[in-house]
Amino acid sequence: MMTDWPTTPAVHEVPPGSALPKIANANLLNTYLTTGCAPADEINVLKDGAVRHPRGYTTAGKLDPSKVRMWLERGYSFQMRNLDRWYPPLHAMCRAIQQETGFGCYVTAFLTPGGTQGLDYHWDQAMAIIYQAAGRKTWELWRPAVDQPHHTHLASNRTPIGDQIQQWKADGPDETITLQAGQILVLPRGWVHNPHAFDEPEQSVHLTFTVRERSGIWIGERLTRAAIASTPLRNVITPSRVIDQEALAEEVQTARNHLIAWLSEVDTKALAPELLAVARTELEPDYL
């Protein structure tokens, strides 16, 4: 993956001796929920793509174990977000991934009762590495409906996809994968997926390591921010020219020219080590 970034889904086995099953397993995650120890603001309760209001599973702003059990018994999935922020072993794993690749990482767990579904049809804006910790989950997959989705650009939760869903249902999936406990699914960004445990008698538990991919947009944003060093670009534009459409168009052209001139003088070799340090250390990339 370091030299040939995946563009199609693939299933892998967890290597023998891996620490992952000890670090993150169904018993641990269920305990966090049923004891109310998980942070309530990192929990979603959902079924068939619909999310419950936090009042339904919290009391006084805290996760309520009795309500948790009630929703689990009713077939609702629990999404535990950003485990890397509040569970140290997964924090260490994500930081190790970032040090090795320069790509940030965050972890979300899904606990889905057998015979049910949590999230339904959607695609993600980043690479997902999905570890099946317990039970099984079926992944119905379709080739990307959009080209290279990125952050808020072409995100499925901000794009009307009702008609597309009907077409996906009519056509059937391009690929169906039933992920077994101890397996990992590498799912490239943009691939449409409809995960479910409809045919399973037991709870399905999986963790999604979302890998924050770098792109030319990331470099472009950093370059644009660095352009604050350009004095002409720091000059104030008078209000009369901001509110006049023709004058503002002229200012846009002027700023564009100044930016191009500034970029043409950038020392790319000097900038590269700065970007590398950011890539390996930043915890909250601005494009997420």
pLDDT, average across residues 54-66: 95
Residue 56 has pLDDT above 80, yes or no: yes
What is the helix (H) or strand (E) element at residue 80, kind and residue range? strand 77-80
Residue 59 has pLDDT above 80, yes or no: yes
Cβ 76 vs Cβ 47: under 8 Å: yes
Domain ranges of the chain: 10-213, 217-281
Strand, helix or coil for residue 8: coil
CATH homologous superfamily of 10-213? Cupin (2.60.120.650)
Alpha carbons 217 and 126: distance in angstroms, whole number? 14
For residue 133, the tally of other CB atoms under 10 A from its CB is: 23
pLDDT at 288: 39
pLDDT band at 284 (very low <50, low <70, confident <90, very high): low
Mean pLDDT of the chain: 94
pLDDT at 287: 36
pLDDT at 159: 78
pLDDT band at 156 (very low <50, low <70, confident <90, very high): confident
pLDDT, average across residues 23-37: 96
Residue 15: both structure tokens together: 């290597």
Which residues lie closer than 8 Å to 99 by C-beta, 6 or more apart?
Answer: 280
What phi, psi does 229 have (nearest 5°)? -70, -15
Alpha carbons 278 and 98: distance in angstroms, whole number? 10
DSSP class of residue 265 equals T
Cβ 36 vs Cβ 204: under 8 Å: no
Please list the residues that pair with 96 across neighbouring strands. Answer: none
- Give a three-class secondary structure readout of 119-184: CCCECCCCEEEEEEEECCEEEEEECCCCCCCECCECCHHHCCCHHHHHHHHHHCCCEEEEECCCEE
CA nearest 234: which of 226, 246, 245, 244?
226
Residue 150 has pLDDT above 70, yes or no: yes
Cβ 136 vs Cβ 197: under 8 Å: yes
Residue 277: both structure tokens together: 């340090």
